[in-house]
Structure 1
Amino acid sequence: MRQIRLVTETFLDQPASNTAISAALLSLTAESKQPETLRLFVPSPVLAFGPQDLRCENFSKAVDYSFKHGFSPVKRLAGGRAAVFHRGTLGFSWTIPDDSPQQNVESRFRLVSKLILESLKALGYSANVGEVPGEYCPGQYSINIEGRYKVMGVGQRIVRGAAHIGGVLVIDDQDSIRSVLVDVYRQLDIQWDPNTVGSLNQKILGEKRTTVEIVREAIISVFESEFDIRKDVLSKSVVELSRSLEKSHSIER
């Protein structure tokens, strides 16, 4: 059975710490110095900008609004448009050794969406894979609730010898995500529908039903049914490399 290291540590030293950890894992995995690793973590409040966002004329104004709403701006590891992480979300980062990473992009998207979808259905949610018209940071492998509210986004980064697939699942407080993106997306000239922002605990779905911890354990359970999961912590080499990469993923005022 395929073996995967599971890490649930959260790194909050700097706003870009979790992104830098993912970048370090990708680099070392590509060099066969780290095993396949799944990270599930609770992030600090950050707004992760994609490469296209960085080139926008009003990017500096978007950064100002990010700070104004209490989110530290960082640079995404994967592609896509600006996405929001906070303590009511669950970040995931899956680093996979692969000699042909480009050929397997779609299969990785399908697999991670399938596994998270199964996790949400096990918790009783009417979840689906697919883009909601007008959703933020749109993607065909997003996960939505009832075909109306986006609750999970995912992106990929590939290098020679490895791939990283990661994203965010929103459990609580979709309002703060909507609020910051209204201002930030206006500066980035992104057309979207703010009503598509969702969370697993939004009132329209009824009483509060879950927590970050419950969702994390549901995801772990599904992964354990498919893989040989070995719980562990990150090695010193990963943490040290990540610290040297933090600055490259940070955005200053």
Structure 2
Amino acid sequence: MQEAQLLLSQNTWRIIDQTGLGAHFDALQSFGMDDTLCASVGSGKSPATARAWVHHKTVVLGIQDTKLPHLEAGLHYLHDQGYKYIVRNSGGLAVVLDEGVLNLTLVLTETEKGININRGYDAMWLLIKRMFADFQQQIEAREISESYCPGSYDLSINGKKFAGISQRRLRKGVAVQIYLCVTASGANRAELIKGFYDRAKKGEPTKLFFPEVNPDVMASLSELLGEELSITDVMMRFLTTLKETSNQIYSGQLTDEEITLFSEYYERVVERNQKMLFENL
């Protein structure tokens, strides 16, 4: 964990807080933002940047999900449940975003030796453990195979997953991303994804792996810690923990150069999303 600590101990962290942008802040904009920050931070033109964001009722699909045999039926189900859906440009499978899910991204520049992929995951895991250290609960990083979007860095307490970590690498920048189910029912979110897969597979065998989602293995932090947390509560923990590990944190937005970059990367994300969806319907 020493190398993970070094990643967190940046001299300066720029904080971009987008948790309050509301229902019109689209998830595709977030992926355009992270690509922009990867390019800017990776080039050395911007400092290490931590971004926080919330989206309303959106299911983010992985590219693999677009290969489901009855994808259209699954998408109709999501629409009928009141959810938008997009395809992300990083790995993984379907996840749920809503007003009770806080997303955090740490954007770092590659060093001369590079940032080993596990080192990036460990840095986020260490950050989350420190954010909730006062609860005396052990936060594990291991695959919860019956969760949605299972991976070796699923974060769980007592076997119940509340978060998943992914990475995006672009132009010498590394974006380590996590979704934290903060409030409401983790099982209900899992039921939504289970319903999507049930309709998109219809029991047919598939060449690619898709999880058999069990809602009982997922929960929110509020459920697991026995305390009603809010997005604001967790944001304060996030900022306090980053401040403790670095010399300076400051609130910022995109620079003029980054705004220009964002227009380009957002357009690419939108085009890719449309291509992945319509090619497979």
RMSD: 2.5
2:164 match: 153
Q: Which runs of 5+ in 1 are unaligned?
A: none
Judging changes above 3 Å, is the alpha-carbon distance between structure 1 residues 138 and 243 closer, same or farther for their aligned structure 2 residues? same
Contact 1:40–1:93 under 8 Å retained in 2:
yes
Q: What is the aligned residue count?
A: 250
Query: Which stretch shows the higher mean deviation, 213-222 or 170-179?
Result: 170-179
State the SS of the aligned residue for 2:96. Answer: strand
When residues 85 and 239 of structure 1 are mapped into structure 2, their CA distance, relative to the original with a 3 A threshold, is: farther
Q: Distance in 2 between matches of 1:249 and 1:69?
A: 25
In the other structure, the counterpart of 1:84 is 96
Q: Does 1:213 align with 2:271?
A: no
Deviations 1:207-238 (A, max 9, x none): x4311111111122112111232222222443
Pick closer, same or farther for the CA change 1:140–1:221 going to 2, 3 Å: same
- Aligned pairs for 1:73-222 within 5 A: 73-99=85-111, 103-123=115-135, 125-146=137-158, 148-173=159-184, 174-186=186-198, 187=200, 189-202=210-223, 206=226, 208-222=227-241
- Which shows bigger deviation, 211-220 or 31-40? 31-40
Once the two structures are overlaid, the 10-residue window that deviates more, 85-94 or 122-131, is 122-131
Distance 1:238 1:101 in 2: 26
SS in 1 for 2:250: strand
Contact 2:187-2:215 at 8 Å conserved across structures: no
1:140-170 Cα distance to aligned partner (Å, 9 max, x none): 2221122x21111110111241111102000
Tell me the percent identity: 18
Structure 2 length-normalised TM:
0.79
Stretch of structure 1 that moved more, 71-80 or 163-172: 71-80
Tell me the amino acid that sits aligned with residue 191 of structure 1: E
SS at match of 1:201: helix
Structure 2, unaligned runs of 5 or more: 1-9, 202-209
- Whole-angstrom CA distance in 2 between matches of 1:217 and 1:168: 16
